[in-house]
Structure 1
Amino acid sequence: MHWRKQIELIRQALAGPPPSLEEVLVLRRLDGAPLRPFTPPPGVTPRQSAALLLLFPRNEQLHLPLTVRSSRVTTHRGEVSLPGGGIDPDDGGAIGAALREAQEEIGVDPMRVEVLGALTTFYIPPSNNYLTPIVGVYPASFEPNHDPEEVASVFTVPLATLFDPATVREEIWERNGTQMRVPFFALNGHKVWGATALLLSEFVARLRRTGLDCFTANC
């Protein structure tokens, strides 16, 4: 299937209902109960923020860029994420913020991005962000040009990789004396976990609901 046809199916998937909690990768207790809140606790005012899940064609297949956060940022140092940040008053909302941050962090021309929809807004406790992931497509092959202040490096992966069962793994970690089940995508030598794994797995789950699980030109 040509990537442009895939984009139309992705747009339809984003317009549908969100997947269940069982369909996404989320930190869990050893008994399987979720460990993270999805909305801010009572009395907490979070920072409204946005990120851009950017799709682009390369060799007739859809790819997406992921950033490795630099050691200079305040939170989530060294973790894999999408370009994103807080929503400023001049952004006009989550879409404007996601496009601006992608331009600042990896050099995306916002005028060439077609917004397809959004994933579920969710809370990120360590940084007190209430994040809205925006999904967009860039119409040509894209070579990231990253800002070293915020981004240590950028790597790109074929969208099809996220649908490979061998890519999804789980380990038992201990944090603050608590053991937890940590699911992650194993991508380019990185463990993509936490908020990034959550939103990527929601994206995958939405597409699987439509029957769209093949992203090569031979589908």
Structure 2
Amino acid sequence: MNFDELIRFLEKRLQMPMPGTVAHDKMKPKMANGAPLRMKHATPPRKGGVLILLFEENGVAHFPLIQRPNYEGIHSGQMALPGGRYEHTDQDQFQTALRETEEEIGVSRDNVEIIGSLSEFFVAASNYMVLPVIGKIDHRPDFIPEPREVDDIVTPPVHHLIEPQRLKKKEMIVRNGYKLESPYFDLEGRTVWGATAMMLSELVEILKEFPQH
């Protein structure tokens, strides 16, 4: 998947209507008994932003994923896109995604050009309304993980997302012992599931329209 051709395609495609929920649902976990997973929250969702950061390596488009450390929290140890919660100093969720990426993996926001965004996504597990921002950088960054927030960084090629053999399913045991049956992406030997997989699923549907893959 040629980097320059992909960027030109996305610059136009991201201005058009998004696949949205139809794409998200393809990677949505369910209870092991087949029932849909439902969560209720007493407060309105908080805002957040994550970044799909595209960069070129040997002519091919890649993007970084981070592994969260193990901690007493709902996303402990999971693979994720760099990002986090909106702060009052952020102009908008685009700036949230850029700031959090700089803090988590050391990529200066000044070096990232925003291409657009996917559909805003509600992360039910943590009660966040997240904007997945897509940006590009003209070189492979020197990633500097923030050790309290990032255990590891992997950089799969974008085209791996649309390879059928990387789409798998397995049982996941989550907090409180709940068993979920979850689709996931197998990327760089890591299990990418849940909210991150659902957001990436919308990108997958868009990439299927890319004429060069």
TM superposition score category, shorter chain reference: 0.7 to 0.9
> Is the aligned partner of 1:67 residue 2:66?
yes
Deviation (angstroms), 1:172: 3.6
Q: What letter corresponds to residue 168 of structure 2 in structure 1?
A: R
Deviation (angstroms), 1:212: 3.8
Output the CA distance in 2 between the equivalents of 1:145 and 1:174.
31
Aligned partner of 2:181 in structure 1 is: 181
* Pair 1:42–1:104, CA change in 2 (3 A): closer
Q: What letter corresponds to residue 69 of structure 2 in structure 1?
A: S
Output the CA distance in 1 between the equivalents of 2:192 and 2:100.
20
Deviation (angstroms), 1:207: 2.1
Deviation (angstroms), 1:44: 2.5
* Pair 1:177–1:96, CA change in 2 (3 A): closer
For 1:83-94, what aligned pairs fall within 5 Å after superposition? 83-94=82-93
* Pair 1:151–1:177, CA change in 2 (3 A): closer
Output the CA distance in 1 between the equivalents of 2:55 and 2:151.
21
Output the CA distance in 1 between the equivalents of 2:9 and 2:36.
30
Output the CA distance in 1 between the equivalents of 2:102 and 2:72.
17
What secondary structure sits across from 1:203 in the alignment? helix
* Pair 1:213–1:183, CA change in 2 (3 A): farther
> Is the aligned partner of 1:55 residue 2:57?
no
* Pair 1:138–1:32, CA change in 2 (3 A): farther
Aligned partner of 2:110 in structure 1 is: 111
Structure 2: give runs of 5+ residues left out of the alignment.
Answer: none
Deviation (angstroms), 1:180: 3.9
* Cα pair 2:6 2:210 within 8 Å, conserved: no
* Cα pair 1:83 1:105 within 8 Å, conserved: yes
Output the CA distance in 2 between the equivalents of 1:14 and 1:73.
36
Aligned partner of 1:3 in structure 2 is: 3
Deviation per CA, 1:171-219, whole angstroms, max 9, x where unpaired?
A: 24466676543000011221110001001111111221x24462xxxxx
Aligned partner of 1:28 in structure 2 is: 30
Q: What letter corresponds to residue 27 of structure 2 in structure 1?
A: L
* Pair 1:62–1:117, CA change in 2 (3 A): same
Aligned partner of 1:199 in structure 2 is: 199
Greater Cα shift, 136-145 or 193-202:
136-145
* Pair 1:74–1:15, CA change in 2 (3 A): same
> Is the aligned partner of 1:143 residue 2:142?
yes
Structure 1: give runs of 5+ residues left out of the alignment.
Answer: 215-219
* Cα pair 2:117 2:133 within 8 Å, conserved: yes
Alignment coverage as a number of residue pairs: 210
Output the CA distance in 2 between the equivalents of 1:182 and 1:121.
21
Output the CA distance in 2 between the equivalents of 1:19 and 1:191.
23
Output the CA distance in 2 between the equivalents of 1:3 and 1:73.
39
* Cα pair 1:27 1:36 within 8 Å, conserved: no
Output the CA distance in 1 between the equivalents of 2:196 and 2:70.
18
What secondary structure sits across from 2:139 in the alignment? coil
* Pair 1:213–1:36, CA change in 2 (3 A): farther
Output the CA distance in 1 between the equivalents of 2:44 and 2:62.
35
- Identity of counterpart residues, as a percentage? 33
Output the CA distance in 1 between the equivalents of 2:173 and 2:98.
36
* Pair 1:212–1:25, CA change in 2 (3 A): farther
TM-score normalised to the size of structure 2?
A: 0.88
What secondary structure sits across from 2:96 in the alignment? helix
